[in-house]
Amino acid sequence: MKQLSGLDASFLVLETPEAPMHIGAVALLDPSSRGGALSFDEFRTFLAERLAAAPIFRQRLVDDPTGIGKPYWIDDPDFDLDHHLERAEVPEPGGWRQLRALMEWEFSQPLDRARPLWQLTFAEGLGELELATGERLPAGAIALLTKVHHAAIDGLSGAEILAALFDISPDGRLEGLPQDWRPPPPPGTLELLGRAGRNLAAKPFEVAETVRHTLTGAIRAGATWAVGRVEPPPSLFTAPRSRLNAPITRERTWDGVVLPLSGIKAIKDAVPGTTVNDVVLAVCSGALRDYLEERGELPDEPLVAMAPVSVREAHEKSDLGNRVSAMLVSLATEIADPVERLRSIHRGTHRSKAYQRAVGADTLTDYTRFLPFTFAGLATRLYSRMHLSRYHRPIFNLVITNVPGPQVPLYLAGARLMAHVGAGPIFDGMGMILVIFSYDGGLAIGVTSCRSILPDPDRFCALLEGSFAELGAAVRDRSAEGHQTP
């Protein structure tokens, strides 16, 4: 039995009927690599054999009986695999648009908190698809739609689920996994009350230590800016108002695009000092600028993105839950020139990283420990019901999360993974999340929003491709001009 951290619990607190707090993806699988079709029954048998590879599959929540403390993860004594598997048929003609609609519907549905917080949908009926990387997905391919509550995983721990399901060869096998799983009996009320009492007794000491740590970090950060005489990164509630920051609806919109990772790296190499993450942020920034400008809604001030940063140690990689900090970055959307926008973003990420080091990466995680779970949940529902996000500046405009994936082909039950396009949660006042995942030479950008904020995600994805092409062309032009200059 393990208690959720404050950060894990915050995703339960933020959850409302309009804002289910799960993350997920569409994984496109080509079964031709296994020499034949992959049936649902074969997939179910395969998954049953892999359950022991990731604890999240069989763990559910149990509440603190006082209502004040955070819930606990326990092994579910009533676990039933069939509660977590769905089989679906992509409507004819089985194209990307039909798959998108299925994903949007699935991602709008909340998970059942009385069971382990995940679901897999095995979608058949896909027609032939051509990926942006130039590869073709033949008719008869499978789409696996995944959904896991954010309270259970972050980007890197989510990679552990990938490791449990996928192999690096078509005939790969995980050895030594126990198949005779027997959960311990669930904890009783007295045991939970005892834990709650011990946690409450420790709170004053934890608060004092956290405040001391914060003050030390603030002094260190102030000295950093004073000595370096540089502008600090954006702070909370300073982002401009935009269409992204309105109250949300239940109806999700989702789409994605896969860009060649080699093209991203070529841009990075041509603009000294920049990183792959800087280039990805610049591509997203260009699409956001164009999308808002088309509607006459581009703010004069730059949009601000929250970029999660993992603070997970090597020994914590298999742990449930979230080990992330947050970095606020200006997206420089007020700058028209794509190369200058990239350079400005690079300066901004550099400042944000320096600030994060000075303050301490664990500051966000430290304060979420003191979240009064029940009262915070009531406050979230009241905030959503009264649409209070209309009456203050956004905390930030959107989330852009970048998770590096393996650069070799992966296989599930022998079927090759062709693309993995992510999705994430949104909430009132933060109506867009861009999930970036690099895999086997491609870089997928998954776009999640809702119908009232982004009714045309396919248009936004077209602008992402256009932004990438524009930035690449501008970098090549600058390089050519530089070679011609004496």
CB neighbour burial string for 444-467, b if at least 16 within 10 angstroms, e if fewer: bbbbbbbbebbeebeebbbbbbeb
Structure tokens at 460: 């936004």
Residue 244: partners with Cβ closer than 8 Å, 6 or more residues away: 303, 394, 397, 398, 430, 431, 432, 449, 453
Catalytic residue among 149, 150, 346, 420: 150
Question: Has 346 been annotated as catalytic?
Answer: no
**How far is it, in rounded angstroms, from Cα 370 to Cα 351?**
29
**How far is it, in rounded angstroms, from Cα 278 to Cα 285?**
10
Residue 485: partners with Cβ closer than 8 Å, 6 or more residues away: none
Cα angle: 288, vertex 290, 294; to 5 degrees: 120
**How far is it, in rounded angstroms, from Cα 201 to Cα 241?**
42
Using CA atoms, how far residue 220 sits from 51, 213, 224, 232, in Å, is 46, 11, 6, 13
Q: Quick one: which of 385, 378, 384, 419 has its CA closest to 142?
A: 419
Which residues are 255's β-sheet partners?
447
Q: Which residues are catalytic?
A: 150
